[in-house]
Amino acid sequence: MRLRWERINAQSTYDALAGLNSRCQAFLSFPIFSEYKQILGQRERSTIDLSRMERWRGHSSFQCCPTNLHSLFGVKCGFEEFSMTSITIALSKGRIFDDTAPLLKAAGIVALDDPETSRKLILATNCDNVRLIIVRASDVPTYVQYGAADMGIAGKDVLLEHGGAGLYQPLDLNIARCRMMVAVRDDFDYESAVRQGARVRVATKYLQTAREHFAGKGMHVDLIKLYGSMELAPLVGLADAIVDLVSSGNTLKANNLKAVEEIMPISARLIINQAALKLKRHTIQPMLEAFSASIAK
């Protein structure tokens, strides 16, 4: 049911805001609260109308504000039960989760459930103020960007496609390491195609990265978006080449493909919501230091 906003006393609202400590005042620095600042300037009026501010609900910056939002604005925030010391970390299943577990343990954080066996998408940890959410690898930056998670761990490949807006990337964790490669069939002469300026069809899920790579080489390519089973594309004539992540190269060999060009090395990065970094620095900083110390060993 759509929430109804009631007219509230402006002086009471101003008094409630004034009661926040200096750390909490930081949330007013976000552009979305410019209207609210204007309202505070009109506090001599007996009432104000907040109906136009329903769009505030769910905003990442608003969720970071530790004041009692329910009593102040008459609406519950989705994360109101979490305090300024609470941290949500977004992770994906599989290799990244497995490689991240030792880093989390070094910071004193251990998941109470195994995402491979549990159907839960929100995992509690041994720390009351830390929880893990399990999302698709490609969605991790989005959850962190919009404040649904304070932190996350994502591969460089995913971050390049996302663009990195609204994210702070303080650490290369040196986990989930692999290479982004161009691969073709064993019988395809890639070097000759490049020299002759032939138009090459390339299948990949990394459109942005592939586009920039081939443009830098002056190659003319037709990019085909796929979401998986890249190795199949050259075998059935869908594409001449693929751009994909390669670890051991065994999958390429098993499908009569060969890697012909390395685009870049890939590893997982720690990403942090910029608003959360400002408002929860006293909680996040010790975790950063623990991760850094673990990587340095």
Task: Kindly report the length of the chain.
Answer: 297
- Which neighbouring-strand residues pair with 130? 87
pLDDT of residue 84: 64
C-alpha distances out from residue 25 to 20, 63, 75, 76, 266, Å:
7, 14, 20, 20, 39
Torsion of CA 214, 220, 222, 228, to 10 degrees: -30
- Dist. CA 289–CA 215, nearest whole Å: 39
CA dihedral 135, 137, 143, 149 (to 10 degrees): 70
H helices present in 48-111, as ranges: 60-64, 69-73, 95-106
| Dihedral (CA of 219, 225, 231, 233) sign | negative
User: What are the angstrom distances between the C-alpha of 136 and each of 57, 93, 254?
Assistant: 25, 8, 27
From first CA to last CA, the distance across the chain in angstroms is 53
Query: Can you give the pLDDT at residue 166?
Result: 86
What residues in the chain have per-residue pLDDT under 50? 1-33, 39-40, 42-82
CA distance 263 to 61: 36
Torsional sign, CA 266, 93, 91, 128? negative
Contacts 24+ apart (CB under 8 A), 192-196: 193/240, 194/219
Helix H, strand E, coil C: the string for 34-64 is HHHHHHHCCCCCCEECCHHHHHHCCCHHHHH
Instruction: Determine the pLDDT at residue 164.
Output: 85
pLDDT digits (tens, 9 = 90+) for 202-255: 999 999 999 999 999 999 999 999 999 999 999 999 999 999 999 999 999 999
- The pLDDT score that the predictor gives to residue 124 is 95
Measured at the alpha carbon of residue 244, what is the angle toward residues 243 and 245, in degrees to the nearest 5? 145
* Euclidean distance between CA atoms 116 and 126, whole angstroms: 18
Q: Which domains, ranges and CATH numbers included, belong to the chain?
A: 8-73 (no CATH), 87-176+268-296 (3.40.190.10), 178-264 (3.40.190.10)
Predicted local confidence at residue 83, as pLDDT: 56
Predicted pLDDT of residue 9: 41
Residue 165: predicted pLDDT: 86
Q: 61-79, pLDDT tens digit by residue?
A: 444 443 333 334 433 333 4
Give the tokens for residue 48. Answer: 């104000």
The CA-atom distances, in angstroms, between 68 and each of 16, 63, 77, 102 are 9, 11, 9, 36
